[in-house]
Chain A
């Protein structure tokens, strides 16, 4: 027994090293799982407070661009609301129609921290559970899709952006309606993504717009994602890998909208039940 202790003591430096490294590996593996609560990240209130201070200064740098984006978005929204159309078309008899109930609500949030140069990029926003934000909500901005809420603290949340190796969003080509999944390319370019799983026979033109699909429970259909830059055949497969120029500029994001899909649970539950029924 004594020799054992002596042996342990003689190697305590190496043993301690191995113990700490194992703990680090445990943290890394934990962090790679899609959803979990963790203390060591930027939704931590103290860390987020410091980041907020930095953002306060960074905002000034992008003020002009962000004003421009907001003005463009306002113009787009004005074009869609009723007073720009012929009033005769819009008069409807008053019926309480439950099918026409609002499906999406939007929560605005300020970006307090962001990265675009890492292999896995996140945003931190200044809204959390106290404001009704839950994990796995979609996040968009005036110019397009941003990402998906990953972790939520009381007043802050982190968002896995499209610039993340595990990010996967279903997307379609507006010109012909074919859909695939949008992932981030291996070249870590903050302005481009790859649209996978589009059959090689589907005609794709440079400049075609890509937007979100009806299948996703996270995003409403038709939210802009980007434009096709080039389409290349994936060697050894029947699918094209389409390079998409993202419409969202992640480098100067200031404000984002978190989407709450009020019918999400209904859709999810139904889909799960169907799947279960088919498995039996």
Chain B
């Protein structure tokens, strides 16, 4: 249990570090800004208390905000994801439900399940962030296009990192 918590804290630090030290510093045509750090919220154990989840979401978001000078925007999006996650998990739960202490991942639930589970949350997260950042309706479709490209890029990064962390058993 203690090891689990330490592991989760370590994952938090590593993901925030990758986001602010690497991903925020590379330029991908000025259109794509991947936000890989949401992976942290996606892979928290299924049994995480809902209230705790909200606070974790806020802490994660505000940490990213501090590096980007975008106070509140990432926090808002992360808390929204933290709020929606329990209901979304219930909706897409496998037939025999989750075991306690289980975390959503490719290894346990397979590629297709994880792709659907992650894509929707990532898309919502990116949709909120890009639209809050720009905060205007001119170039509306241009913004949505940036959301789409960035989401796809983030999802690809998430899938790759899933395979790097634990190879699925054959």
Residues of A within 8 A of B (CB): 12-13, 16-17, 20-21, 24-28, 30-32, 38, 40-42, 44, 47, 50-51, 54, 58, 113, 115-120, 122, 124, 158, 165, 186-190, 251
Contacts and interface: CB of A to CB of B under 8 A. Distances in A.
Given A24-B79, A117-B30, A17 B54 contact: yes
B79 A21 contact: yes
B69 A119 contact: no
B76 A25 contact: yes
Contacts of B61: 24
Given A13-B50, A40-B66, A51-B67, A118 B133 contact: yes
B38 to A, nearest CB: 16
A243 B109 CA distance: 52
Given A117-B30, A120-B133, A42 B69 contact: yes
Interface string B55-83: 10010011001111111110110011001
Contact of A115 (B24, B72, B134): B24
Contact of B27 (A30, A165, A251): A251
B4 interface: no
B92 to A, nearest CB: 20
Nearest to B17: A50
Given A27-B75, A28-B76, A119-B134, A20 B58 contact: yes
B30 A189 contact: yes
B30 A190 contact: yes
Interface residues of B, number: 37
11 contacts: A20-B79, A24-B58, A25-B72, A28-B73, A40-B65, A115-B68, A117-B33, A122-B69, A158-B69, A165-B134, A165-B135
B72 A28 contact: yes
Interface of B: 20-21, 24-25, 27-28, 30, 33, 50-51, 54-55, 58, 61-62, 65-73, 75-76, 79-80, 83, 132-136, 138-139, 142
Given A47-B66, A120-B133, 18 more contacts: A17-B54, A17-B83, A21-B79, A24-B61, A26-B72, A27-B71, A28-B72, A41-B65, A47-B67, A50-B20, A50-B21, A50-B67, A51-B67, A117-B30, A165-B135, A186-B142, A187-B139, A189-B30
B70 A120 contact: yes
B125 to A, nearest CB: 14
A24 B72 contact: yes
A186 B75 contact: no
A-B pairs, 6 with minimum CB distance: A27-B72, A28-B72, A24-B76, A31-B71, A122-B69, A119-B134
B50 to A, nearest CB: 5
A41 B51 contact: no
Max chain B Cβ within 10 angstroms of own Cβ: one of A17, A30, A32, A113: A17
Contact of B72 (A31, A50, A122): A31
A12 B52 CA distance: 12
B66 A41 contact: yes
Contacts of B80: 21
A185 to B, nearest CB: 10
Contacts of A25: 72, 76
A21 B76 contact: yes
A61 B109 CA distance: 42
Given A17-B83, A24-B76, A28-B73, A113 B67 contact: yes
A165 B76 CA distance: 21
A30 B67 contact: no
A45 B38 CA distance: 25
A215 to B, nearest CB: 28
B57 to A, nearest CB: 8
Nearest to A122: B69
B73 to A, nearest CB: 6
Contact of A116 (B30, B50, B79, B139): B30
